[in-house]
Amino acid sequence: MIGTIEFYHRISDNLLFDVPLPLSSGLSSKTENIGALFNQGIELGVNVDVVKAQNLVWNVGLNLSTLKNEFTRLPQDEIISGSKKLMVGRSIYDYWLREWWGVDSDDGAALYRADDVEASSVRIKGNDTLTTDINNAKYKYSGTAIPDIFGSLTSSLRYKGLELSFMFTYQAGGLVLDYNYQSCMSSGTYGTGYSIDILNRWQEPGDITDVPRMDDTQTSNFNATSSRWLTDASFLNLRNLVLSYDIPENLTRRLGMTRARVYFSGENLFLINARKGMNVQQNFSGTTSNVYTPNRVITVGVNVNF
Amino acid sequence: MKKIIYSIFFVMTVSFIFSACSEDWLEVLPTDGVSDAGVTASTRTAMASLNGIHRALYVRYGSQGRCGLGAWFLHIDEQGEDMVFNYATWTTHLRWLHRSATSSYNERNWLMFYGWIANANVLINGIDENTTGSQDEKDYIIGQALLYRAYCHYQLVQQYGNRYVPGGGNTQLGVPYMTEATTEGQPRNTVEEVYQYINQDIDDAIIILEGKSRMNKSHLNVDVARGLKARVALTMGNYATAVTYAQQARVGYELMDSATYHLGFYTGSQGSGEYMWATQIQEDQTDKWGNYGAYVSRNFSSTSIRRNPRSINNLLYDQIADTDVRKILWDPTGDHLDLEARGIEIVASAKRYPYTNQKFIAVSTSDSRVDVPNMRVSEMYLIEAEAQARRQGNDPEAAAALYTMAVARDPSYILSINTGQDLIDEIMIQRRVELWGEGQRFFDLKRLNLDLDRTGSNHRESVNGGLMQVPAGDTRWTSLIPQDEMDANPLMVQNDL
Residues with Cβ within 8 Å of B393's Cβ and at least 6 positions away in sequence, in order, are none
Give the residue from chain B lying closest to A122, CA to CA. B497
Four-CA torsion B131, B134, B136, B141, nearest 10 degrees: -30
Task: With CA atoms as reference, report the closest residue to B57 among B186, B216, B246, B255.
Answer: B216
Is the Cβ pair A23, B102 closer than 8 Å? no
Q: With contacts defined as CB-CB under 8 Å, which chain B residues touch A30?
A: 183
Is the Cβ pair A25, B103 closer than 8 Å? no
How high is the mean pLDDT of chain A?
92
Q: How far apart, in whole angstroms, are the C-alpha atoms of residue B174 and residue B110?
A: 13
Q: Which of the 8 DSSP states describes residue B275?
A: E
Q: Is A182 on the interface with B (CB under 8 A)?
A: no
Give the residue from chain B lying closest to A82, CA to CA. B484
φ, ψ of residue A59 to 5 degrees: the values are: -125, 135
Is the Cβ pair B497, A135 closer than 8 Å? yes
pLDDT along chain B (497 residues), means of 10: 47 43 60 82 95 96 94 98 94 94 94 97 95 96 98 98 95 97 95 98 98 95 98 98 98 93 91 95 93 96 95 98 96 94 94 97 96 97 98 94 97 96 97 98 98 97 92 96 94 94
Q: How far apart, in whole angstroms, are the C-alpha atoms of residue B475 and residue B166?
A: 19
Q: Read off the pLDDT band of A19 (50, 70, 90).
A: confident
Q: Is B88 on the interface with A (CB under 8 A)?
A: yes
Q: Read off the pLDDT band of A292 (50, 70, 90).
A: confident
Q: Which 3 state secondary structure label does DSSP give B90?
A: coil
Residue pair A75/A68 in contact by the 8 Å Cβ criterion: no
A232-275: pLDDT as tens digits = 999 999 999 999 999 888 888 888 888 899 999 999 998 999 99
Q: Is A192 on the interface with B (CB under 8 A)?
A: no
Q: Is A25 on the interface with B (CB under 8 A)?
A: yes
Q: How far apart, in whole angstroms, are the C-alpha atoms of residue B496 and residue A124?
A: 20
Is the Cβ pair B181, A136 closer than 8 Å? no
Q: Is B160 on the interface with A (CB under 8 A)?
A: no
CB within 8 Å of chain A, chain B residues 406-465: 462, 465
Shortest Cα–Cα distance, A115 to chain B (Å): 11
Q: Is B474 on the interface with A (CB under 8 A)?
A: no
Q: With contacts defined as CB-CB under 8 Å, which chain A residues touch B52?
A: none
Q: How far apart, in whole angstroms, are the C-alpha atoms of residue B181 and residue A26?
A: 8
Opening angle at CA B64, ends B58 and B67, nearest 5: 20
Q: How far apart, in whole angstroms, are the C-alpha atoms of residue A132 and residue A121?
A: 6
Beta bridge partners, A123, equal: A130
Q: Is B104 on the interface with A (CB under 8 A)?
A: no
Residue B10 CB neighbours (<10 A)? 10
Q: With contacts defined as CB-CB under 8 Å, which chain A residues touch B97?
A: 219-220
Instruction: Give the Å distances, CA to CA, from A184 to A190, A192, A202, B406.
Output: 12, 8, 16, 51
Q: With contacts defined as CB-CB under 8 Å, which chain A residues touch B119?
A: 26
ipTM of the complex: 0.87
Q: Which 3 state secondary structure label does DSSP give B196?
A: helix
Q: Which of the 8 DSSP states describes residue B25?
A: G
Task: With CA atoms as reference, report the closest residue to A101 among A126, A70, A84, A72.
Answer: A126
A100-149: pLDDT as tens digits = 999 999 999 999 999 989 888 899 999 999 999 999 999 999 999 999 99
Q: Write out the H or E segment, with its range, that includes residue A18.
A: strand A2-20
* pLDDT on residue B24: 56
Beta bridge partners, A177, equal: A230, A287
Q: How far apart, in whole angstroms, are the C-alpha atoms of residue B211 and residue B217?
A: 15
- Considering only CB atoms, A30 lies closest to which of B97, B183, B492, namely B183
Q: How far apart, in whole angstroms, are the C-alpha atoms of residue B341 and residue B336?
A: 9
- Considering only CB atoms, A24 lies closest to which of B178, B462, B467, namely B178
- Considering only CB atoms, A26 lies closest to which of B118, B492, B497, namely B118
Do the bridges between strand A162-172 and strand A235-246 make them parallel or antiparallel, or are there none, so unpaired? antiparallel
Q: Is A120 exposed, middle or buried (0-12, 13-18, 19+ CB in 10 A)?
A: exposed
At residue A17, does pLDDT exceed 90?
no
Q: Is the dihedral of CA B31, B485, B161, B90 positive or negative?
A: positive
Domains of chain B plus CATH, in order, are 37-281+372-453+472-482 (1.25.40.390)
Q: Which of the 8 DSSP states describes residue A115?
A: S
Q: Write out the H or E segment, with its range, that includes residue A272.
A: strand A259-273
- Considering only CB atoms, B484 lies closest to which of A20, A121, A225, namely A20
Ranges of beta strands (E only) in B322-453 are 330-331, 356-357, 372-376, 452-453
Q: Which of the 8 DSSP states describes residue A99?
A: -
Q: Which of B184, B461, B487 to mutate to test the interface with A (most CBs of A within 10 A)?
A: B487
Is the Cβ pair A26, B116 closer than 8 Å? yes
Task: With CA atoms as reference, report the closest residue to B49 among B33, B61, B62.
Answer: B33
The domain locations on chain A are 2-91+145-188+223-305, 93-144+189-222
Is the Cβ pair B176, A20 closer than 8 Å? no
CA atoms within 13 A on the CB side of B452: 27
* pLDDT on residue A14: 87
A187-246: pLDDT as tens digits = 877 778 899 999 999 999 999 999 999 988 888 899 999 999 999 999 999 999 999 999
Task: With CA atoms as reference, report the closest residue to B214 among B312, B151, B280, B306.
Answer: B280
Which amino acid is present at A287? T
Is the Cβ pair A24, B107 closer than 8 Å? no
Q: With contacts defined as CB-CB under 8 Å, which chain A residues touch B485?
A: 22-24
Residue B460 CB neighbours (<10 A)? 15
End-to-end CA distance of chain B: 53
Instruction: Give the Å distances, CA to CA, from B356 to A44, B297, B334, B373, B458.
Output: 68, 10, 6, 19, 11
Ranges of beta strands (E only) in A132-258 are 139-144, 149-159, 162-172, 175-177, 230-232, 235-246
- Considering only CB atoms, A20 lies closest to which of B103, B466, B487, namely B487
Ranges of beta strands (E only) in A21-126 are 29-52, 56-65, 68-73, 79-81, 84-86, 94-98, 100-103, 110-113, 122-125
Opening angle at CA B329, ends B323 and B330, nearest 5: 105
Q: Is the dihedral of CA B138, B143, B144, B149 positive or negative?
A: positive
Q: Which 3 state secondary structure label does DSSP give B375?
A: strand
